[in-house]
Amino acid sequence: MELSNEVFISVDVETSGPIPGEYSMLSIGACLVDTPETTFECTLKPLNRNVDPDALAVTGFSLEDLERRGIEPHQAMTEFGAWVKSACGEGDVPVFVGLNAPFDWSFINYYFHRFHGENPFGFTALDIKAYYMGVMNCSWRNTRSSVMAEHLHPMQKGNHNAVQDAIYQAELFRLARKARQKGE
């Protein structure tokens, strides 16, 4: 049996609320974990006017502005799907990597199925928080990005810009993998 190459892709989303379908995905940021300068970024038109004010405040977006300048969800998912495919060679498996992956993956999965017909990641979502918890043998409370940063000393920082957050969490994942190899 031939092993396929796994291509780790860090993905972050900004949304208007806690669940896909009822709330909108407002932006997607992604990068290749091992070559983080290879990025994807887009902002989307909202599906509706539903908003959690706290979630929207974190993003810095306004629904009115995104209605004017965001791209249609179908186009966004088509472009993102093409980017994921171009990042992978023949037989490679794209692996979704996220910091709190269940949240981000739920929006990406919903949007891919609704607007693109399929999710190129399938069900391959890797959560950095869970990975870090296993590597460090720590509590869930100690998987916050601020705690990880104190231990791993990343150069990047998160700022709720989806592509910058994808780059930041890619670095956290690389550093956690390095710590595992060192046996920290």
Which of the residues are catalytic?
160
Within 8 A by CB and 6+ apart from 69, the residues are 43
Contact status, residue 8 vs residue 34, Cβ threshold 8 Å: yes
**DSSP characters for 21-51?**
TTB-EEEEEEEESSSTTSEEEEEB--SSS--
Contact status, residue 77 vs residue 111, Cβ threshold 8 Å: yes
* 62: helix, strand or coil: coil
